[in-house]
Each structure stands twice: as structure tokens, then as C-alpha cells.
A and B are shown apart, each in its own frame.
Chain A
Amino acid sequence: MDAVAYFVGKYNYWGCIFLFFLGMYAMISKTNLVKKIIGLFIFQTSIILFFISASFKHDATLPILMEESKGAIDPVMYLNPLPHVLMLTAIVVAVATLGVALTLTVKVYRIYGTLEEDEINRVIQSH
């Protein structure tokens, strides 16, 4: 059963691709700006999961050195630390950009009185 082994062996990618396009669909199709931001966040989460799953190795432990292996270090024993670092910073930056995005929606609400895209377009065109 090669096909089954193939699908089971890459289940992380199926999940990431599903979340990726779920977020992208929300960003394109929803008219409410807050729902678009939620879509953006799902989108970012899928990328973070993709990177973290790329760091996984079978039979490996966390990238924190164990006491007994301080002499000779075998890279196969430890997870790849680089994706962890990249995503660690990406999560904090995602929170900061979420703050900026919400700030912009507050600003939009103050000016147009609504967060629905079509209503904002109507207000812009009527001016």
C-alpha cells in the first residue's frame, strides 16, 4: 500500500495546505474586515505549522542539549533548531502586526462608521 503510506507520511502538509487555503479563502471572500483579519491569522498559523513540522525528525528530542551528550553531539538526535527560531520571532511579529491591523480597522470604523467592505465602497462613491 504505497499510496496509503504516501498520504500518511505527509499528513502535516495536507493540514497546512488546508489551513493555508482556508485562510486565503476567508481573506478573499469575506466582506467584513475583522473576518479578513481572522483569515490572515489562520493563514499565518498554517505557515508557522509548516515550518515547525519541517523541523521534526523521527526519534529526535528537543534542541536543548542533554547532559550526557555534551562530549560528542550527534545532529540526528536533536530537532532542527532553525525553524523554531524563525517561528519564535514570527509569532511575536504576527501579534504586533495583528495590533496594527486592528488599529487600522478602528480608524476605518471611525471614518466610515462600518467595517463591511461594500458599505465602505458605497460611502466612498457617494462622496
Chain B
Amino acid sequence: MKKLALILCVFAGGILLINAHYLPMWGDPESPASAHLSPFFIENAYAHTNAPNMVAVVLADYRSYDTMFEAAVVLAAGLACFFLLRSRGKGRKGGPHYYRHIPTGATIRIDEKGKLPREDSKAFRPIDALWTPYDPIIRTTCRCLIPFLQIYSLYVLAHGHYSPGGGFQAGVVLGATIILLAISHNLKTSIQRMSERTAALWSIIGVAIFAGTGLICLLLGMDYLNYEILAPFLLSDAVMARSHSILIVEIGVTMAVMAVMVWIYYNLSSAGQQDEGL
């Protein structure tokens, strides 16, 4: 099997190498990829939308159908993880449970038949069996870093028109901060901050903001996702309406991507239990 795979890969790779002379040279300004559509995008992006970042313009305006369905694919991936893995019912059954008695700092092990402390108990904090939770350096560093990372991701979102950035990047950074909280503390801490229900709702609302913007355009008598008709509602002319609408749909993308990243992480790291995990 390995030999067959090697022969197949070398054979197919050889065909590609032989046919590489059809491909344009590295950095050729006249290459077919740069010849037809992209000069139009580069020349007209600023005049059409008043946003200097052409990538954001192409992403959220010229190719907004594509982006909308990409967000829908990300949402579908989150749903797939949920339906495949999530086990219903209480996670805290069977097995030994570990609790930290906060006043003394002692860790208590409670076996299968033992009585668990109350969920809202101030004196006991549940800790994961496989995770040594108390590492002050990592915890403190992450606590200091997370707010700045979140502000930075909001900057990336809001400034996406003018500098490298946009909805997808901001969503990934924002989701990474929640995952960082889960890694540096434990899964329960981050679920307390952002529950699974919140993640599911945010991802659906994010896609709905994007699709809803298009639907409003449609209801007002324009094409789907043709933002120019929104100008009276955004108190601006047609060009600025497209600029503002890019921001609106980017916010939707950010919410969807961030929530889905967190949601997939919750389900994967705890194998669907959402009780103990990384």
C-alpha cells in the first residue's frame, strides 16, 4: 500500500511538474490570475465603497454571497460537532470527583457513592481529575493578557476597512481568548463566562445578521446583499452605505466565527461531556 501510494504520488507529481511550463512565472504582473477581474477590483474598490482595504471590500461586498455561505459552513461545522458528540444528561456521574476546599487549599477526592458539595458552594470548587489547576504564573499571565487580546480583536474588526483585518481574523482572535481562558484555568471557568447556549446563540445570530442584511436589501426592492438601498437607514449616501454595511456584516462574521470556535473547542476537549477537559 505504501509503495503503491508512493508510485501514485510520484507519477501524479511528475505530470504536474512536466506541465508546470503552462503556469505563469513567480510574480509576473501579467499572469492570468491578475489579468481579468482583479484590476477592476483594485481600480474601483475605493470609489465604490470608500474603504481602502480592498480585501475587506471584495470579501464583504463584491463576493458577499461567498462569504455568507462560508459563515454558514462554519456554523454547520459547529452544529455537526454538537450533534455528533454532545451527550445529554448530567456529566457529573460516576468516577471520582475532585474538589478544592478554598479556605484551606486542600484537594478532596469524592468516590462514586460519596455526597458532592452543592453546585453554588463558595467553599468548594470542582477541579478536573487530569489537570493540576493551580499554577499562579500561567493563570495570572493569561488573566492579564486576555482583556488586551479581546480589545485588540475588536480593533481588528472595527479597523478592518483601513488596515489588515476584518471579521474572520477578529473572530478567530476573540475565540482564541476564550479557549486560552479554558486552557489556563479549566473548562468550567470558561463555560461559566460563556456558556454553550451563548455560543450556539451567537453563532446563529452572527449568520442571521449577515443573511438578514441581505434580506432587508431584498425586501426594499434591490438585489440580495446590494447594500446601496440601505443608505437612508444608515444616514449616508450610497457609497458610505456600502462602507457601513461591510462593517455590519463583518460583525456578524466575527460573532459566528468566534462562537463556533469556542463551541467546537468545548465539545472536542471534553468529548461532548462539557464537564472536564483541557
Contact = CB atoms under 8 A, between A and B. Distances in A.
Chains A and B come from one and the same complex: yes
Given A54-B33, A63-B54, A9 B267 contact: no
B80 interface: yes
A80 B85 contact: no
Given A29-B6, A85-B58, A88-B59, A103 B25 contact: no
Contacts of B6: 25, 29
Contact of A89 (B162, B163, B168, B261): B168
B42 to A, nearest CB: 4
B55 A57 contact: no
Contact of A96 (B26, B28, B55, B264): B264
Given A21-B13, A64-B163, A93-B70, A78 B42 contact: yes
Given A10-B20, A57-B29, A103-B267, A93 B63 contact: no
> Which has the most chain B C-beta neighbours within 10 Å: A53, A62, A85, A104?
A85
B265 to A, nearest CB: 8
A78 B81 contact: no
Interface in B82-134: 84-85
Contacts of A63: 42, 53-55
Contact of B9 (A25, A55, A86, A99): A25
B266 to A, nearest CB: 11
A105 to B, nearest CB: 10
Nearest to A50: B23
B168 A92 contact: yes
Contacts of B135: none
Interface in A1-47: 6, 9-14, 17-18, 20-21, 24-25, 28-29
Contact of B81 (A20, A29, A103): A103
Task: Bin chain B's interface residue count.
Answer: 35 or more
A91 B168 CA distance: 9
Contacts of A82: 33, 37-38, 41, 58
Contacts of B144: none
A93 B74 contact: yes
B147 interface: no
Q: At the interface, is chain B mostly helix, strand, loop or mixed? A: helix
Task: Bin chain A's interface residue count.
Answer: 35 or more
B34 interface: yes
B263 to A, nearest CB: 9
B29 A76 contact: yes
Given A21-B12, A75-B39, A97 B27 contact: no
A53 B164 contact: no
> Which has the most chain B C-beta neighbours within 10 Å: A9, A12, A75?
A75
> Which has the most chain B C-beta neighbours within 10 Å: A14, A17, A53, A64?
A64
Interface of A: 6, 9-14, 17-18, 20-21, 24-25, 28-29, 53-58, 60, 62-65, 70, 73, 75-76, 78, 80-86, 88-89, 91-93, 95-97, 99-100, 102-104, 106-107, 110
29 contacts: A9-B25, A10-B20, A10-B26, A12-B26, A17-B16, A17-B20, A20-B16, A56-B26, A63-B54, A64-B55, A64-B164, A65-B45, A65-B46, A65-B53, A70-B52, A76-B29, A78-B42, A81-B55, A82-B38, A85-B58, A88-B166, A89-B59, A92-B74, A96-B260, A99-B78, A99-B264, A100-B81, A106-B268, A106-B271
